[in-house]
Amino acid sequence: MHVLALETSTRQPTFALADEDRLLVEWQQASHQTTAADLLPAIHEHLGQVGWQPNEIGLVGVSIGPGSFSGLRVGLTIAKTWCHITGAALIAIDTFDVLAQQVAPAPLVSALIPAQRGQVFASLLKWSIKQGEYQSLVEPTWWDPLAWLREAPPETLHTGPGVSLLQQAAGERLRVAETSVWSPRARTVAQLAWHHYQRGQRDDPMRVVPKYVRPSAAEEKQRG
């Protein structure tokens, strides 16, 4: 089965093309660009390079956040529209699961994403040998970095683009993953989507929504 995976929770959106669990292509937007405007044209360009037609995609995996408000909307809109037009299956992947999977099988993982205003979105995940995947121990929400450090056990491995905020607050007394795995990648979304698909998961494109965790600054301002 041909798989398209989208990861747009950061300012460097990525997509991947995989044949079941075999990665063929991973594209990442240049760091100086800050929108996902080029994502769809790039997907079509790389489909041509591997010789696939859009309707040959049987599975679309997409990360649903938390993360960039606009980025998540773009990624999910592409994924839902693709599935509506082609009939491909859709599987939504939590961005925290993506970050944790990239350091698997670390026993206990703190996944962190910047939440603006000096805060972080955070989740604590534990590796399940039986399930072969991470399971959330703490409901994802936003935290002050120092408060999160008091919540996470000392043996926790911290990862994700929000780690730098923890380092600023705590100095050197942290167990952190290699910086190369701090950014969520589409190849990991593809891996997780295929894993869930094989286990029978299917998500309804009409019901999947971004996991924002908190309102945007504009929404909070409107609410007073």
What is the tens place of the pLDDT at every residue in 108-163? 999 999 998 889 999 999 999 888 899 999 888 899 999 999 999 999 999 999 99
The pLDDT assigned to 156 comes to: 96
The pLDDT assigned to 34 comes to: 46
Return d(Cα 108, Cα 71) in angstroms, integer.
28
Phi then psi for residue 69, to 5 deg, are -60, -50
What is the tens place of the pLDDT at every residue in 158-190? 999 999 999 888 766 789 999 999 999 999 999
What is the tens place of the pLDDT at every residue in 186-219? 999 999 999 999 999 999 999 999 998 865 554 4
What is the tens place of the pLDDT at every residue in 50-108? 999 999 999 999 999 999 888 899 999 999 999 999 999 999 999 999 999 999 999 99
Query: Residue ranges of the domains in the chain?
Result: 2-95+184-223, 103-181
> What is the homologous superfamily of the domain 103-181 according to CATH?
ATPase, nucleotide binding domain (3.30.420.40)
Say if residue 1's pLDDT is above 70.
yes
**Residues 18, 193 contacting (CB under 8 angstroms):** no
Q: 161 Cβ partners below 8 Å, 6+ apart?
A: 10, 112, 113, 114, 182, 183
Q: What is the CATH number of domain 2-95+184-223?
A: 3.30.420.40
> DSSP 3-state assignment of 91?
strand
